[in-house]
Amino acid sequence: MRVVAAMSGGVDSAVAAARMLDAGHEVVGVHLALSQSAATLRESARGCCTIEDAGDARRVADRLGIPFYVWDMAARFKRDVVDDFTREYAAGRTPNPCLRCNEKIKFAALLDKALALGFDAVATGHYAQIVEGVDGRRELHRAVDMAKDQSYVLGVLDEDQLARSFFPLGDTVKPRIREEAAERGFYVASKPDSHDICFIADGDTKGWLTRELGAARGEIVDSDGAVLGQHDGAFAYTVGQRRGLALSRPAADGQPRYVVEVRPETNQVVVGTAELLGVNAITGDHARWCGPAPTGTVRVGAQVRAHGEEFPATAWAVGDRLEVRLDERIRGVAPGQSVVLYDGSRVVGSATIAASRLERVTTPSATTTTTTTKDAV
């Protein structure tokens, strides 16, 4: 097969490209230029997509003896990932830009361009596995290395995209990948991993959002509306947050308080006890399925954060909407996050969280509907 290997300049994508070549594929390395004003050098392990990263990717391609190109996708990355990130925070939601990048850039823009140029598939250095099911369909599964598993941020991929994707690292733990890179003589064998939000190299999301959206002083209130403090922008807060609240009045019961709601329309941040964070019902929109959409009600594991815990749940789809009922309360579920569903190690699909709440739930059977009654929190 003719395969585009997405090469970020890091150790994972380098080994992924090498493994695809070893497997007998015709491989071309491609580095995605995602910044409209790329820095020359990496500022920290958080950033990526610098000129230095492009050079590192090219050196690996040269060592492998494969063609190498830089594809400029900066404008689309800004529109589909960066601007979306900013809008979501301005609307009081907490987005995951890695999911949006995988959906809109790496497995839409990149894959579409590769197919248009006559390639058959795209390979990346993500830690996940593609397994052929008993029906011949390709399924997305968790990686062997659970500490590095990235199936959560790949939960936006559909069946057609999975059919044209390769994740060569999914069966290997990260320390072995570094050893393999060193054995192959790759300069990047000991290069630090990039992490967090790649376009916020210093890791200061609040500072970045303030520069983008401007400071907007507002009130921090409790659930009764009593003013407890001030903030410089509701966009800097997320549901479940405890640190950095700087409240002027301590809680009467001495218990810590958390952000329980962000109200962009009034520029208010609402805080309350941990008990107010507990939810067992999630409604998601923009549902995406890594294969056929489930029919009726299904038992699944639900994960709401990258590398977060998986919780047993019941789920069903209603058009583009997803309803999830958790077997137990969980805390800190914020609108804008994604809920990803699992059947064992297999990724079923995902949705963007639109709302969460505490409900008394009558669990439906596979052929019945659900009736819910809101429970007092």
The Cα–Cα gap between 294 and 365 comes to: 14
The Cα–Cα gap between 61 and 353 comes to: 40
**C-alpha dist (Å) from residue 57 to 11, 76, 361:** 9, 21, 52
Strands 346-357 and 338-343 come out as antiparallel
Residues forming a β-bridge with 112 = none
C-alpha triplet 284, 316, 320: angle, nearest 5°: 45
Strands 128-132 and 26-33 come out as unpaired
Distance of alpha carbon 250 from the chain centroid: 35
Residue with tokens 């639900």: 302
User: What is the SS3 assignment for 296?
Assistant: coil
Alpha-carbon dihedral sign for residues 231, 234, 239, 243: negative
CB atoms within 10 A of CB 193: 13
Which of the residues are catalytic? Answer: 101, 198
Tokens of 335: 């609108």
CB atoms within 10 A of CB 115: 14
Contact, 228 vs 238, CB < 8 A?
no
Strands 26-33 and 2-6 come out as parallel
